Amino acid sequence: MRILKDKTVYQGAVFEVKDQVIDLENQREPIKRQSIITSDSITIALINEARQVLIVNEFRAPIASFSWSLPAGRVNSQEAPAVTAQRELAEETGYLIESEFLHSVDRVSLSNGILSEFSNIYLAHLVDGHYQLVDRHFDHDEDIRDQKWVSIDDALTRTDGAASHLALLYLKLV
């Protein structure tokens, strides 16, 4: 495999689009592809002692609607994913979890046929005495209207994001 052409055709604040021409050994002609290049993300399943998870209702521009999901965010280039998970959880929900109660579960591609993004999935355990309630601080382009504790099954019904579902299905197994 050789990349013959790799040209950025769009550069935005969150992602870039590349036109690529790729020479595959088993093809007669080079193939053309477009790829979306973006930073990785994190998704956090915060679970309390009653085995409920916290979901947030956040505006999502691609679907022009509010959507329930697990807390999530973009990994900044200067941060380790675990640091991002801890920061995003505090910013979006007000729960600052001690790092030893935050566990990495998996790192998965969301759509590797077109998208460079991997989602780092974390579980955070809400244990008395090992978290602080802090003021929520949203990014300038973020609108979270509500949050609620629900059962894992209810969260699976209310959410539709792939990373949220993977984290919730993992919780059902453990």
Contacts of 47 (CB under 8 A, 6+ apart): 53, 123, 124, 125, 126, 171
Q: How many residues comprise the chain?
A: 174
Report CA-CA distances (Å) from 80 to 12, 27, 51, 56, 104. 23, 39, 27, 23, 12
How confident is the model over 5-21, as pLDDT tens digits? 999 999 999 999 999 99
User: Which CATH number do you get for residue 74?
Assistant: 3.90.79.10
Q: Are residues 30 and 83 in the same domain?
A: no
Q: Which amino acid, one-letter code, is at 147?
A: Q
- What pTM, to 2 d.p., does this model score? 0.88
Q: Are residues 110 and 129 in the same domain?
A: yes
Instruction: Decide: residue 106, CB within 10 A, 0-12 exposed, 13-18 middle, 19+ buried.
Output: middle
Res 93: pLDDT: 93
pLDDT in tens, 97-155: 998 999 999 999 989 999 999 999 999 999 888 888 887 776 666 677 899 999 999 99
Same domain, 125 and 152: yes
CB under 8 Å to 149, separation ≥6 — which residues? 48, 50, 52, 53, 54
CA–CA separation, 42 vs 126, rounded Å? 18
d(CA 87, CA 2): 39
In this model, does residue 159 exceed pLDDT 80?
yes
Q: Which domain holds residue 32?
A: 2-37
The reply to whether 13 and 84 lie within a common domain is no
Condensed to tens digits (0 to 9), the pLDDT of residues 35-87 reads: 999 999 999 999 999 999 999 998 888 888 999 999 999 998 889 999 999 99
DSSP string, 131-166: EEE------TT--EEEEEEEEHHHHHHHB--HHHHH
Please tell me the predicted confidence (pLDDT) of residue 27: 82
The verdict on 12 and 49 lying in the same domain is no
Residue 16 shares a structural domain with residue 54: no
Q: Mark whether 27 and 53 lie in a shared domain.
A: no
List, as one string, the DSSP characters of 13-44. SSEEEEEEEEE-TT-SS-EEEEEEEE--EEEE
Q: What is the pLDDT of residue 21?
A: 94
Query: How high is the pLDDT of residue 60?
Result: 85
Same domain, 106 and 43: yes
Stretch 26-34: mean pLDDT, rounded?
90
Domain count, the chain: 2
Asked if 68 and 29 sit in the same domain, the reply is no
For residues 18 and 81, membership in a common domain is answered with no
Do residue 15 and residue 81 come from a single domain? no
Between strands 65-69 and 52-60, the pairing is antiparallel
d(CA 129, CA 132): 8
| Res 142: pLDDT | 64
**Does 131 share its domain with 51?**
yes
